[in-house]
Amino acid sequence: MKSKVLNGAVLAGVAVVLLVFAAPSYRQGEPSQAGRPAPEFSFTLDGRPAKLADLRGRVVVLNFWATWCPPCIEEMPSLNRLHDQLAPLGGMVLGLSVDKNAGDYERFLRDHAIRFPNHRDPSAAVAAAYGSAMYPETYIIGRDGKIARKIIGPQNWDAPEWLAYLRTLQ
């Protein structure tokens, strides 16, 4: 009897996991996001107030992350390298941290030598506006200000496939 209950619980758990991974909000590059205008938000860029609309005409790789997120930490070096490659082409990486603690956030940027622009969103209001529920989560925003793709999970951002894709948007 115990094994039947345990087997049922395991099967229910597997079903839940499968449903989560099959949900549209989890699919890589989900079609429901593509073509939608990227939600507007304000941030600081080079010490000045800015908003996403100011970046129209540029491809923006918008990455939601946190210092307490191991996969986020894992992809930071490749985001640095991607930013270095996109900047001469007029594109950029923009990080949005959901960290509540400003000290942890600032220390992380310094200790990991993060070179791309970042902004802290402690209330996670911007992440919520985008529908982000997992970290890291990245939105590729085209020059027209519309979402081209949504990517969930860490990536090797300077892989040839990503660079080729991002160049098609330039």
pLDDT digits 0-9 by tens, 80-132: 999 999 999 999 999 999 999 999 999 999 999 999 999 999 999 999 999 99
For residue 63, give the 3-state DSSP assignment: strand
Candidate CATH numbers 3.40.30.10, 3.30.360.10, 3.40.50.150, 3.40.50.720; the one for domain 33-169 = 3.40.30.10
| pTM, entire model | 0.81
Nearest to 137 by CA among 104, 145, 126: 126
- The average confidence (pLDDT) of the chain is 87
- % of the chain surpassing 90 pLDDT: 75
pLDDT digits 0-9 by tens, 27-68: 455 456 889 999 999 999 988 999 999 999 999 999 999 999
Return the pLDDT at 60.
98
Domain positions in the chain: 1-29, 33-169
Nearest to 26 by CA among 146, 161, 131, 141: 131
CA 117 to chain centre: 13
